[in-house]
Each structure stands twice: as C-alpha cells, then as structure tokens.
A and B are shown apart, each in its own frame.
Chain A
Amino acid sequence: MKKTVNQKAWFFVLPVFVLVAFNAAIPLMTVINYSFQETFGDNVFFWEGTRWFKQILQSDRFHGALGRQFLFTFIILIIQVPLGIAIALSMPKKGMGVSVCLVLMSMPLLIPWNVVGAMWNIFALPEIGFLGHSINALGIDYNYTQQPLAAWFTTILMDVWHWTSLVVLLSYAGLCAIPDAYYQAAKIDGASRWSIFRHIELPKMNKVLTIAILLRFMDSFMIYTEPFVLTGGGPGNTTAFLSIDLVKMALGQFDLGPAAAMSLIYFFIVLLICWVFYNLMMRHEEQS
C-alpha cells in the first residue's frame, strides 16, 4: 500500500540537512579537493592529478596499515560475535535478572571512548596496573608499551570489553522475539540444546546478527580513539591502524595531499565492503 505523499514533511528535514551539509558534505568536498592538489598552506594549490592516489596505493606504509587493520577487524569479529551470542543465550528472559543483566551489559557502552583508552592504559601498565602486574606475577613477561604482541593483546582485549555488549544486546533482542512455541516444539521433538541453537535460534536471529556484524565491522575498521589513547600506534607502528596512520600523515607530517587521497581510498574500501555485505544479505533474504 502506498502512503499518501505529504510534501510539507520535507521542511522538517531541512535543519538536519543543513547540519549534515555543514559537518559532512562540505568537509568531504574539501578533502576531495585536497586529494588532487599539492599545498603548503596559504591557500596556494598545485594540481597533482592522480599522483597522490598512485603514491598511496603503492606505498608499503599504506599496505602495512591496511594489513594490520584487516587483521584487527578479523580477530575482533571472530571473538566478539560468538562471545556476544553466547552471553545473550545465558541471559535470563524473565524476572529481576533481566534488568540487572541489561544494565551491566549497557555500562561499557556508555563510557566515553577516550576514557576507555585511558582506563586500559593504566590498567595494563606492567608496574602499577592491576592487569599488567598480575600477568607479570604469573611469570609472563608482559609490557604493552614495548612488546608488539602484548600491545595487540591489550588492544583487542580492550575492544572486546568495550564493544561485545553491543552484540549481546542485539542478539538478546533477537532471541526474545522468538515465540515460545518453537522451544516447546523442539522439546517435544527431542532436540538437543545444540540442535535448538542451530535450527531455531540462529536462523531466527539472522537479521539481528547481520546488523550486529555490520556495525562491528564498520566501527572496528574505523577505530581511532581507543588504540590511540592506549598505545598511540606503538610500539613503533605495530598498532598503527588505518585511521591512526592517516592522522599521523595529515596532522603530524602535514602531508595534506597524500592524507586526503588516503582518506578517500579508506572511504571507498569501507563503502565497497559494506556494499558487498549488503548484497550478500539481500541475496540471502531473497533465497529464503
């Protein structure tokens, strides 16, 4: 059924439109402008064409950052999605426990991101941090400011602590929407717990999980604040993910041209993956 069209509704959208234009559209156009030019400031521009794009795409530094980013996102998704689902499955559906669990799960999501970074910075310090000290007390040599492996471990652990709740809450919502009759029928059919998960819960959580994975992918691929505050990209550049590397280039080295080009490439990679994801989702829906 088609809704009757009311043109006056567009006026409500106008303020947001202006805001978005100001905060996003115009800066984006500026970046595009920079990506094709060379500048040393003072609004003096020299046309460079596609030089920056070629340079970035061929640079080892970019490949390194891109590789680290993909690895990071991959590990994050592999840990957070199953863990989130598992926690959601063990949360109660009725009674007092529901409110308690929901509040506990929401708390990590409410903390400002740089505070999260700062918290873990101190928490994981080898001398005075509780985590750092405990690990060293077990006999493992752990120092995230100096060891790349430790730095990765700490960054991943921080992100899991911070963001798994999102997957949990979304999965929980999906689970609650499953009518009781399905569980009853499965009980009667003699299905095992694993069968129930595989044949009822997982298929029914499909849409919700897709959103959860998409959100987690995007956020982790564009991650900046937390690892920046935690490790600053170090030691060296072992935890310099794409966005961190980008900012170093733009603000640290003031290479605006290459930085702009890299932003655009970054932007297109994210768009491409989301587009692929979306098509897979649509095709899956059509099939069913």
Chain B
Amino acid sequence: MSLELKNVKKKIGAETHIYSTDLKFEKNTINILLGSTLSGKTTLMQIMAGLDKPTSGEIWFNEKNVTGVSVQKRNVSMVYQQFINYPNFTVFENIASPLKIVSISSNEIKNRVGKVAELLKLTDMFNKKPHELSGGQKQRTALARALVKDSGLILLDEPLANLDFKLREELREELPRLFENRDCIVVYATTEPMDALLIGGNTATLHEGKIIQYGKTVDVYNKPKNVISAKVFNDPPINTTKVIKKDKTFSIENNSISWQCQSNLGALADGHYTIGIRPHSITPYKQTENSVQIKGKVLIAELSGSESIIHFQSGNIKWVSLSTGIHPLKVGAEAELHMDVNQFLYFDKNNKLINHV
C-alpha cells in the first residue's frame, strides 16, 4: 500500500498554490506536513483525499491511478481543525455513521464502534450529543469516526490546533498508539514543530507551496537541507547570520566573534557562508568545551518555570537564546552568553546545508 504524488501542481487563477510536487508515502507510516499557515498543507491534503483535483500531475494509491476519482469512491477518512460532528447524532451514532452507509450488520457495527471508542476513551459518552461534550471529547469523537472506517488513508488537518494546551499534549501522545496495527497511511498537517518531533514518523517541510524536504523527522530536524527547511522546523526560530571563512577561522560579519573550523570544515573554500544556530545552542552557561562567547545587550528575558528565553542584541543582529533553568537577566544589562560550536549548521552561498551536527 502506498500513496504517491507525481508532479502534482495546483493553480487557482494566476496563483500557483502548489508547485510541482513528488511524494511517496509507504504503508504504516505517519507522515507530517509541517509548514506555516498558507504554506499549502490543506490544499495538498485535499488533493490527496480527492476533495480537489490537481491542475496537473497524478495521484496513485495502491499502484492505481486515482487522479480525478471523487472522494466518495476512495477509502479516505479526514479529521479537521474545527471539531466536525453531526450535531443531531449521539456520540455512538456519530462514530457509527460511516458504517451505516455500507451494509454492515448492526452487531458488527456495535463491535467496531465499541473497540474504537475504547481506544479513545469515549465508552461513557455514547448517549451524549456533541453540544454536551467538551472540546477534547468532540475531537475524540471525530477521530473515532475517522478510525472506525478502517480506511487506507487517514488525513488529519491540524486536529489539535483548537484544543487547550494540556489537551493538545495528551491527545498528541495518544495519536501514535491509535495508528499502530492499523495498516494505513496517516498524513498529519501542523504548524507546530513540537508536534512533528514528538509524533515522530516522517516529516515534509513546506514553504509557500513547495516541499522543501521530506524524510525521517529526526533527519529533517538534524540535517535541514537548506536555511528555509531549518527555519520551518524550529520553534523558537533559529538564529541565522552571515559568516566569513578565512584559512581555518570562521568569523561573524561585522562582529569580532570568531572560532576555529571543526573537523572537515577546514577543507571548505574561503568565502561567505551562512550559519544557523538553534536557540538552545546559546546559553548563559558553558555547555561544552567547544563554545564561543558572545556579548550582547539583553532586550527581553522571558522566564517560564523551567526555561529562560533571552532576547539580546549583539552588533546589529537580534539573537534568541533558550536555556534550562531560570536566568533572571536584567533588561539593558550587558550579558555574556556561550554558543556551542558543535551545534552550528553551515549553509553555502545557495543556502544549502554543508555539514550536519
């Protein structure tokens, strides 16, 4: 079982919403589409589902060309951001609704609904109507309805976005468990990098209608193909700045900060490069021996209970640092922070990744 997009393009009027896309999803994988709003995630998902037709290109499901086949004929389930349930049906009826359309015996329906409801902790809610449920319960009902169909392709379009922070955490943890032993392909669209990291699977980073990178989540995170992929996959946003390499030394443009080349980087040609430094690589304390100091003026210090996010300015660039523990630095104070050189990502003139951590 596989889902393949071949050269799929989508244009609406003169605007291109999706640029030529090639993707292949294998059976039993969770695939995350990560990108900001308007990056094309929903458009792509609707094309995958059959709710929309691509302007050009083909969609193949299970070695069959399904381009243009309407969604009613495909075996697809979809869960939306807004908890979509039939308002006049009880929870039981809602979950059973896809099964009632196909002719299945009512015993079998009870059986399947019961199994899925248990998975989603809804067994006590069978007689309630959607308006009596909390946000989390409504979304669980929608998820149950999507799962009971045993479809080959399950699409989730930012399903956790409208939930409270804590509920989001809880449901996010349950998701991988819901999809195991299920012989299906799951596609999950989100704007939160944390969702991608904690759910795992594979991730495709999207930006302005283009797939920038696709691969195992861990790989896409640790080895972003280019600066854009690195920027999409970071929260807080990654710090980027231009550097100059001369002989064996890198130095930040218009700044006195410099460090020695690590390992194979010495072999690079001298010239201009861009580096990406993740906020957690910059800390008020020394993390490793291989760190370089940066001095700056503190702009804002945001202290949550367990972490400190420090915004500071060095030279004419604004930096963000994320460290564990509480570091109550005063606004306007001169601070000295340490950057872990081992964690730097180097990008060449075309913004492509040179090394990886």
Contact = CB atoms under 8 A, between A and B. Distances in A.
**A–B proximity contact (CB within 8 A):** yes
B71 interface: yes
A283 interface: no
Nearest to B43: A1
Nearest to B71: A4
Contacts of A2: 52-53
Interface in B31-46: 46
A1 B52 CA distance: 6
B65 interface: no
Contacts of B46: 1
Nearest to A5: B70
B299 to A, nearest CB: 31
Interface in A255-278: none
A12 B253 CA distance: 71
A1 to B, nearest CB: 5
B51 interface: yes
A18 to B, nearest CB: 29
Contacts of B53: 2
List the 6 closest A-B pairs by CB distance, nearest first. A4-B70, A1-B52, A1-B46, A2-B52, A1-B51, A2-B53
Nearest to A6: B70
Interface string A202-217: 0000000000000000
Interface of B: 46, 50-53, 70-72
Contacts of B50: 4
Contacts of A4: 50-51, 70-72
Contacts of B71: 4
A4 B67 CA distance: 13
Q: How large is the interface on A (under 10, 10 to 19, 20 to 34, 35 or more residues)?
A: under 10
Q: Taking chain A's interface residues, is the majority helix, strand, or loop, or is none over half, making it mixed?
A: loop
A4 B50 CA distance: 9
A1 B72 CA distance: 16
A2 B70 CA distance: 11
Contacts of B70: 4
10 contacts: A1-B46, A1-B51, A1-B52, A2-B52, A2-B53, A4-B50, A4-B51, A4-B70, A4-B71, A4-B72
A68 B70 CA distance: 57
Contacts of A1: 46, 51-52
B42 to A, nearest CB: 9
A28 B51 CA distance: 41
A4 B47 CA distance: 12
Interface string A152-179: 0000000000000000000000000000
B76 to A, nearest CB: 13
B351 to A, nearest CB: 33
Interface string A100-131: 00000000000000000000000000000000
Given A1-B52, A4-B71, 8 more contacts: A1-B46, A1-B51, A2-B52, A2-B53, A4-B50, A4-B51, A4-B70, A4-B72
B203 to A, nearest CB: 25
Nearest to B42: A1
A139 to B, nearest CB: 62
Interface in A1-38: 1-2, 4
A149 B46 CA distance: 65
B35 to A, nearest CB: 18
A152 B60 CA distance: 72
A105 B303 CA distance: 59
B128 to A, nearest CB: 27
A4 B73 CA distance: 12
Nearest to A4: B70
A2 B51 CA distance: 8
A2 B71 CA distance: 12
Nearest to A3: B51
B100 to A, nearest CB: 21
Nearest to B69: A4
Interface in A68-120: none
Contacts of B52: 1-2
Nearest to B70: A4
B82 to A, nearest CB: 15
Nearest to B72: A4
B10 to A, nearest CB: 11
A1 B42 CA distance: 10
Contacts of B72: 4
A83 to B, nearest CB: 37
A265 B200 CA distance: 71
A4 B76 CA distance: 15
Contacts of B51: 1, 4
Interface in A165-196: none
A204 to B, nearest CB: 23
A1 B53 CA distance: 9
A4 to B, nearest CB: 4
Nearest to B47: A1
A4 B46 CA distance: 12
A203 B50 CA distance: 39
B224 to A, nearest CB: 31
Nearest to B46: A1
A2 B47 CA distance: 11
Nearest to A1: B52
Nearest to B68: A4
Nearest to A2: B52
A53 B46 CA distance: 56
A2 B72 CA distance: 15
A88 B52 CA distance: 42
A1 B50 CA distance: 11
A201 B201 CA distance: 50
A4 B74 CA distance: 13
A1 B51 CA distance: 8
A111 B240 CA distance: 73
